[in-house]
Structure 1
Amino acid sequence: MAWGGLFSFAKFWASTQQGGRRQVDSAAHTIKSHGATLARNHFQDWLILLLLILIEVVLYLTHPFYRFVGRDMMEDLKYPMKDNTVPIWAVPLYAILLPMAVFLLFYMRRRDVYDLHHSILGLLFAVLITGVMTDAIKNAVGRPRPDFFWRCFPDGVEVYDKWGDVVCHGKDSDIKEGHKSFPSGHTSWSFAGLGFLSLYLSGKIKAFDGRGHVAKLCIVFLPLLAACLVGISRVDDYWHHWQDVFAGGILGLVVATFCYMQFFPPPYSNDGWGPYAYFQAMEESRTNSNANRNSPAVQTMEVPAVNQVPRRNGDAPTPFSYLSPTLEAMELGLK
């Protein structure tokens, strides 16, 4: 059954332009034909993205709340300082660029600029909204990291004030970063980007079509597994408590789901393979086509009775004019 699921996914990839209901016309909605108009229609959305980037930079530079850390609390904060298993520069690579590469692959097959534009826009919104919420909560909570002791007292000499609060003499940057434990930024970003990719793939391969191909679920769960491993690495590196990772994962996945549903139908829907905008464009195209077809300018003009051709079986004559030879033959029953 699993191999059958993989085969069905390969067959779907090879026939995306031919099979299925309401399939995409490969030449109808390309970047060249509709890209500029689509970008103009969503100009405000792209401005909001720039605003989110600015807010994220401000939040990153803002000092977090330095909460009270007493001597007895240090017993749980003496884990060693380690380097990141997943460096911070790698997060945009797998959480943003990797999903975009997948979106481009589907665009190369289907030539649907609505799908490409809305998937990229939804992904960026998911990641940036998650980033803003994560850093805002980090700064407000100010929870110490598991390795806070060595950030605060790099020489191991503890110093406390008269109230029992720590008096840190470590590097300012290490102390500042040491108060940003909750929630995990690596984890929230990972689940935002890879969670969005998981939802996107589940819609494209029709993972919930009721045919029981478990191999499709393996494809859907693969990005989520990668995000989970990133979260686990944050605990293993002693940069976060497990509660930080759990909260970050929930936050990223929830935001990714909301952003995905803003542009795409649910993955279990019959139309889950395409964005709302594509179906709206197709509906408008059909409406305009029907309107043009019913327009008086294109109605068949009635001609004198001499050009009327009797119907078969003795029915009343039907007026027509300017018919091509092929249409005349069809009307006369010759073809």
Structure 2
Amino acid sequence: MPEIQLGAHTIRSHGASVARIHMHDWLILLLLVVIDIILNVIEPFHRFVGEGMLTDLRYPLKDNTVPFWAVPIIAILIPVAVFLVYYIIRKDVYDFHHAILGLLFSLLITVVITDAIKDAVGRPRPDFFWRCFPDGKGVFDAVTRDVRCTGVKSVIKEGHKSFPSGHTSGSFAGLGFLAWYLSGKIRAFDRRGHVAKLCLVILPILTAALVGVSRVDDYWHHWQDVFAGALLGMVIASFCYLQFFPPPYDADGWGPHAYFQMLAESRNATQCLSPNNGSLHVQQTELHSVYIDPQETVQVNSWDSSPMLDGHGSETTIRH
């Protein structure tokens, strides 16, 4: 009889088949990349900026504390490193594939929405004056008093993309997804009150928040831009995680939906092939011991050896 063995699904044995099933999802990811490239090429809406409106837009033009190239490292490479460590321990290609797929969807959907809103709103950055007039001499329309920028075109273009913050939304999309992932793996919401688990879950969110704070400190964004970016990234991350994984407080919150669906299909297939009409031989991941004491009490102990990191089991007592 075939056996169902947890953790026996590696990239080598099942990776190609899992990726083939989700080929259309990977194609959609490529489409999102193309859309975002287009959104970054087109010119954003140039909102009217009158001479009297520049009072709050005269902050100094500074370099980024968190450069653009660091955002993919923070939002992609760090979560993928965590996924890889768990895969090495668990050897579950379903978890590894769906974690990466969900992470990329979270980031790309967030980035596309963020850049689309940036182009449509065209809000000036806090340092817009120095982008528009690098020599400090303002030039305005004789009638409307709208700005007539004299700076570098690419710098001016970037100055019309303040709302929402892309650094913040991207960081929350990636690290927010990681926070969901960790909460499921360590069973942070198992009702045992382990605060250390909660601290581990909050750590990625705190990192994303510090990225957002740096955007205000660098005068690249208003605080409203950062708040909107954080909210957008976290909401998208939550939707994408729950698309592939159960909620962390669920009994099966440690694994992806596809994994449990595969187990159910394997059991059904084995039952159909069984000559005993439904007898199924499954290698269990739980160890059960049954004994009867002198008072006719049946004690059943179950220690769950699934990859939930707390290792505590449950105990059920049945009296006759």
Shorter-chain TM-score bucket reads: 0.7 to 0.9
Offset, 1:105: 0.5
Distance 1:72 1:289 in 2: 76
Q: Which amino acid aligns with 1:173?
A: S
3-state DSSP of counterpart to 1:88: coil
Distance 2:252 2:66 in 1: 37
Q: Which amino acid aligns with 1:259?
A: C
Structure 1 residues 143-165: Cα deviation after superposition (integer angstroms, max 9, x where no partner): 00000000011111111102110
Q: Does 1:203 align with 2:184?
A: yes
Offset, 1:295: 6.5
Distance 2:106 2:23 in 1: 18
Structure 1 residues 91-145: Cα deviation after superposition (integer angstroms, max 9, x where no partner): 0011001100100110011111000000000000000000000000000000000
Q: Does 1:264 align with 2:245?
A: yes
Distance 2:6 2:227 in 1: 43
Structure 1 residues 62-81: Cα deviation after superposition (integer angstroms, max 9, x where no partner): 11000100011100000000
Q: Which amino acid aligns with 2:69?
A: W
User: TM-score, length-normalised on structure 1?
Assistant: 0.80
User: Partner residue of 1:190?
Assistant: 171
Q: Does 1:67 align with 2:47?
A: yes
Q: What percentage of residue pairs aligned between the two structures are identical? A: 68
3-state DSSP of counterpart to 2:34: helix
Distance 1:110 1:156 in 2: 60
- Structure 2 stretches of 5 or more lacking a match? 280-320
Distance 1:24 1:246 in 2: 46
- Structure 1 stretches of 5 or more lacking a match? 1-22, 299-335
Structure 2 counterpart of 1:58, from 31, 34, 38:
38
Distance 2:226 2:126 in 1: 13
> Could you tell which deviates more after superposition, 263-272 or 286-295?
286-295
Preserved contact between residue 194 and residue 223 of structure 1 (Cα < 8 Å): yes
Q: Which amino acid aligns with 2:181?
A: Y
User: Partner residue of 1:277?
Assistant: 258
Distance 1:121 1:153 in 2: 44
User: Partner residue of 1:311?
Assistant: none
Distance 1:274 1:62 in 2: 41
Distance 2:100 2:47 in 1: 38
User: TM-score, length-normalised on structure 2?
Assistant: 0.84
Q: Which amino acid aligns with 2:36?
A: E
User: Partner residue of 1:121?
Assistant: 101
User: Partner residue of 1:92?
Assistant: 72
Let me know the Cα RMSD of the aligned residues: 1.3
User: Partner residue of 2:91?
Assistant: 111
Q: Which amino acid aligns with 1:59?
A: L
Q: Which amino acid aligns with 1:167?
A: R
Offset, 1:211: 0.3
Offset, 1:25: 1.7
What is the correspondence of 1:7-86 to structure 2 with a 5 Å cutoff? 25-27=6-8, 29-86=9-66
Q: In proportion to residue count, which structure has more strand?
A: 2
Q: Does 1:156 align with 2:136?
A: yes
Structure 1 residues 220-269: Cα deviation after superposition (integer angstroms, max 9, x where no partner): 00000000000000000000000000000000000000000100001111
Distance 1:26 1:65 in 2: 52
Preserved contact between residue 198 and residue 224 of structure 1 (Cα < 8 Å): yes
Distance 1:227 1:67 in 2: 29
Structure 1 counterpart of 2:267, from 273, 282, 286:
286
Q: Does 1:178 align with 2:164?
A: no
Preserved contact between residue 24 and residue 112 of structure 1 (Cα < 8 Å): no
Where in structure 1 do 4 or more consecutive aligned residues deviate above 3 Å?
A: none
Q: Which amino acid aligns with 1:88?
A: F
Count, aligned residues: 274
Distance 2:248 2:74 in 1: 22
Q: Which amino acid aligns with 1:267?
A: P
Structure 1 residues 204-225: Cα deviation after superposition (integer angstroms, max 9, x where no partner): 0000000000000000000000
CA shift in 2, pair 1:270/1:88, >3 Å: same
Distance 2:276 2:131 in 1: 76
Distance 1:26 1:195 in 2: 26
Q: Which amino acid aligns with 1:97?
A: L
Structure 1 residues 164-202: Cα deviation after superposition (integer angstroms, max 9, x where no partner): 100000110110000000000000000000000000000
User: Partner residue of 1:313?
Assistant: none
Offset, 1:292: 1.2
Distance 1:265 1:62 in 2: 39
Q: Which amino acid aligns with 1:247?
A: A
